[in-house]
Structure 1
Amino acid sequence: MIHYPRVSLLILSWLLVQSSATAAEPLQRIRVSPDGSGFVRGDNDQPIVIWGVNYDHDSDGRLLDEYWTDDWQTVVDDFAEIRSLGANCVRVHLQFGLFMDQPDLPNVRSLDRLERLVRLAEQAGLYLDITGLACYHKQHVPAWYDKLDEQRRWDAQAVFWEAVAQRCQGSPAVFCYDLMNEPVLPGKVPTDDWLLGELGGKFFVQRIATHLHGRTRQQIAGAWIKQMTDAIRKHDKEHLLTVGVIPWVHVFGAGEPLFHSAAVAEPLDFVAVHFYPKAGEVDKAIEALKAYDVGKPLIIEEMFPMKCSVDELAQFVDQSSDFADGWISFYWGKTADQLRSDEPASIASAITASWLDRFKQLAPQP
C-alpha cells in the first residue's frame, strides 16, 4: 500500500481547512483517495487528514440533541471553540429515540435541527462525522423500540438512516455517516438486553442482535451493515460510510477485526476504531492498531488520556501517524481555561484541560 507522508498531510490539511472556512472558498466534499490510502477533497484530490473531536455531551452530561433546541447559541459558541483548537471535524451522536416517533415515522423537528447543524458546520468550516442510532440515555429509548424483534428493529433503524441521509445528502460538510457507536454481536448465551457498557449513566454500547439463531457473527454483522448502508445509499450515494468499533484485537491481544473484515465490510469506505491506550503500553496499542490497517483509510475515532498520561497519548498519535489518516478526541463544552477555573477543582478537569492544550499544540499551525 502506498501511504502519503503523514506529517506533510497534517500541515497541508490545516492550510486547506483554514482557507475553506472563508465564505469565498466553501468546504469541499471529502472522498477516499484514488489509491485508497487516505482522504482527499476538491477537484485536484487535495489530501486531508481528519483532526477532530467528539461533541457528544456538554459539561453537565446533556447530549447534544437534548439541548440544541433551547441552547442553540451554546452550540454555535462551541463550534467556534472547537475550530480554535485546530480541529477540522466534529463527531456528533444522534439519539434514535429523539429522531423516531414510531418505527416508520421520523421526527421532523429533530431532522430540521440536524439540518441547521449541518449549515452551522458549513459556516464554521468544520466537517461532521454523523454517528446514529444512539441509545445513550435510557429515558429517551422508546418502549416500543425494545419490544420490536430483531428484523423490525433493523427496519426502524434503516428508516432512521434514510431520513438522515435524505436531509444531509447535499452538504459538503458531511464527512461521513457512522452507522452505530460500538455495535456488539451476540455470544453463545442469548440475552434480551439490547444495551450494555454503562458509563456515567450513559449506555454507549448496543447490540445489533441478541440471539445467533444458527447464524455466524459474521453473517449477522454483514447483513446489518448491508441493510443500513443500502438505506443510506437510497438518498446519498457520495458521503463516506463507516462503523466505529471497540478494538477487540487490543482488548484480547489477538484476533482480527470483524466489522471491518473483508467478508463483512465491503460497503464501508474506511475503518473507524476507538483506542484508549493504557499507561506504559503505548507500543502494545500501536501493534493492535496495525491490525485495523486493512487496505482502507484508518481513523482513530475516539481517544483520550483516560488510562494513560497526556504525554503517552501524544506519543500514541505520533507513532500511529505512519498509517493512520485521522484522530478524533473529545470536547465537552468547556475550554481549557474554563476547566482550570472550575470550583471545586477536580483531577478530571485538570487532565482534560491539559489534554486540550496538547491537542491544540499537536494540530498543525498555519
Structure 2
Amino acid sequence: MRHLLIAITFCWIPTVCAETLPTVRVANNGEHFVRGDADERFVVWGVNYDHNGDGELLDDYWIERWDDVVEDFSEIKQLGANCVRIHLQLGKFLEAPDRANQAALDQLAKLLKLAERQGLYLDITGLACYHKANIPDWYDLQSEQERWRTQAFFWESVAEVCRDSPAVFCYDLMNEPILAGKQPASDWLGGELAGKFFVQRLTLDLADRTRQAVAKAWVDQMVEAIRKHDDQHLITVGVIPWVFVFGGGKPLFYSSDVGERLDFVSVHFYPQKGQVAKAITALQAYNVGKPLVVEEMFPLKCTEAELTDFVNHSKGFADGWISFYWGATSKQLREADDATIGHAITASWLERFSSMAEEMKQPVGE
C-alpha cells in the first residue's frame, strides 16, 4: 500500500524540471550564494539525510529500496527544505583503489534526477567510513600517499557523474577530517558514536610537517581531482568548530593558507544549553569573507527554543543551515509504537524546522 500511495502521489504532484533548477554559485563579491542569470540570492535550508531510522546509510539500501528514497525526498520537500546533504561511503563506491563500482555511480545519477524533479539541491559529502563493515581491507592497509590517491580517485569518479547536474549544490570533501597530534596515531578513524565512525584522520603521522601544510596538501589534491571533470560546482569541507569546542584558537581548514580553494565555509554546531551567545561568538570566527553554512545542527545539547535562537541570531551573517531528517515524518514519529522521548524531540523540531522554512530561505532585508 505504501508504494501504491507513492505512485499515486507522484502522478499529480508538480515536479521541478532540470531546466528550472538554476546552478548555485558564489556571488561576484564572494560573500553569499546566488543562482540563475539574474543572480538571485540563495539561502540554504536543508537536512542531513545520512541514515534512516534503522541506522542504515543511504547507499546501503538505495538500490533495493529505491521507493523509500523517493518517498523520503518528497517528505523532505514538504518540510520546506531546499537542500539535502547525503553521505557516500568510499567502500560502496570503489571496488579497488582504481576501480569504481558502476552500480553505485549509476544510482547516484538516478538520485540526481530525483533531486532535479523535486527541486532539491544535493550537498554531496564523500569518503565516508561510518560503518567499519563497509571499509575495504585494502583501504586500511594503504599508506598515506596511497590513501590520498584513492580518495582523489573517488572524487574523480563522483564528479564525472555529477558535473552536468544543476541539482549539485556542493561537494563536501570529507565529514569532519582531523589530523594526528604530536604523537603518531594508529587508527585512521576517530571515536565511535552510536555504532558509527563519523571522524577520519588525514594522516597518522605529521612527520615534521605543520598541520596547515598537511591540510592544504590534502585539500588541494581533492580539489584537483574534482576539477578534472567539474569546474562549476562548489567545494567545501564540513568541520568540527574547534574554536567553539576549546573556546579559542582559529579555524584550520578555513585559514587563508589552507582554505584558499574552498568555495564556502561549512561548520557543524550543536549549541550547549545556556550557551547560545557563546555559540554565536564561535560561529562568527568562521565568518571569513566567504559564504557560511551551518552544515549540521540539532537540539542535541540544548532546547529547541535555544537552537531556534541560535539560527535567528546567526541569520545576519550566515548563508544556510542544515539539520537532520531520518526517514520519518513528525506524525510517524509521534504515532510509532515504540515512541521515545527522542522521537518526541525530533518530531517537535521537524515541525519547528518546517514552520521556519519560508522565512529562513529569504535573505536578510528581502
User: TM-score of the superposition, structure 1-length normalised?
Assistant: 0.93
- Whether 2:60 is the aligned partner of 1:66: answer yes
Aligned to 1:56: 50
Percent identity, aligned pairs only, is 62
* Gaps in structure 1 of 5+ consecutive residues: 1-19
- Distance in 2, Cα, partners of 1:212 & 1:22: 48
Shift of 1:137: 0.2
Aligned to 1:361: 355
- Distance in 1, Cα, partners of 2:86 & 2:177: 17
Aligned to 1:173: 167
Checking the alignment, whether the CA contact within 8 Å between 2:333 and 2:343 is kept in structure 1 is yes
Give the AA of the match of 2:296. Answer: E
Give the AA of the match of 2:352. Answer: R
The one of 204, 208, 211 equivalent to 1:214 is 208
Shift of 1:268: 0.4
Shift of 1:197: 2.7
* 1:282-297 correspondence runs (5 A): 282-297=276-291
* Gaps in structure 2 of 5+ consecutive residues: 1-13, 362-366
- Whether 2:219 is the aligned partner of 1:225: answer yes
Give the AA of the match of 1:189. Answer: Q
Checking the alignment, whether the CA contact within 8 Å between 2:17 and 2:116 is kept in structure 1 is no
Shift of 1:198: 1.1
- Distance in 2, Cα, partners of 1:176 & 1:248: 23
Aligned to 1:133: 127
- Whether 2:299 is the aligned partner of 1:268: answer no
Aligned to 2:177: 183
The one of 72, 82, 85 equivalent to 1:78 is 72
- Distance in 1, Cα, partners of 2:16 & 2:170: 22
Aligned to 2:33: 39
- Distance in 2, Cα, partners of 1:205 & 1:342: 31
- Distance in 2, Cα, partners of 1:231 & 1:98: 19
- Distance in 1, Cα, partners of 2:202 & 2:108: 24
Checking the alignment, whether the CA contact within 8 Å between 2:18 and 2:117 is kept in structure 1 is no
Report the CA distance shift for 1:31/1:150 in structure 2 as closer, same or farther (over 3 A): same
Give the AA of the match of 2:284. Answer: K
User: TM-score of the superposition, structure 2-length normalised?
Assistant: 0.93
- Distance in 1, Cα, partners of 2:290 & 2:79: 27
- Distance in 2, Cα, partners of 1:25 & 1:202: 38
Aligned to 2:88: 94
- Distance in 2, Cα, partners of 1:91 & 1:21: 20
Checking the alignment, whether the CA contact within 8 Å between 1:241 and 1:270 is kept in structure 2 is yes
Aligned to 2:325: 331
Q: Which moved more, 1:23-32 or 1:341-350?
A: 23-32
Checking the alignment, whether the CA contact within 8 Å between 1:39 and 1:47 is kept in structure 2 is yes
The one of 244, 247, 250 equivalent to 1:253 is 247
Checking the alignment, whether the CA contact within 8 Å between 2:333 and 2:344 is kept in structure 1 is yes
Checking the alignment, whether the CA contact within 8 Å between 1:81 and 1:335 is kept in structure 2 is yes
* 1:272-351 correspondence runs (5 A): 272-351=266-345
- Distance in 1, Cα, partners of 2:290 & 2:190: 29
Aligned length: 347
- Distance in 1, Cα, partners of 2:263 & 2:325: 26
Deviation string, structure 1 residues 222-265 (Cα, Å, up to 9, x no partner)? 00000000000000000000000000000000001001110100
Checking the alignment, whether the CA contact within 8 Å between 1:21 and 1:27 is kept in structure 2 is no
Q: Which moved more, 1:25-34 or 1:105-114?
A: 25-34
Shift of 1:25: 5.5
The one of 118, 126, 136 equivalent to 1:124 is 118
Shift of 1:22: 3.2
Checking the alignment, whether the CA contact within 8 Å between 2:18 and 2:166 is kept in structure 1 is no
Aligned to 1:152: 146
Shift of 1:21: 5.2
Deviation string, structure 1 residues 139-160 (Cα, Å, up to 9, x no partner)? 0000000000000000000000
Shift of 1:24: 8.6
Shift of 1:189: 1.0
- Whether 2:137 is the aligned partner of 1:143: answer yes
Checking the alignment, whether the CA contact within 8 Å between 1:218 and 1:258 is kept in structure 2 is yes
Aligned to 2:9: none
Checking the alignment, whether the CA contact within 8 Å between 1:28 and 1:41 is kept in structure 2 is yes
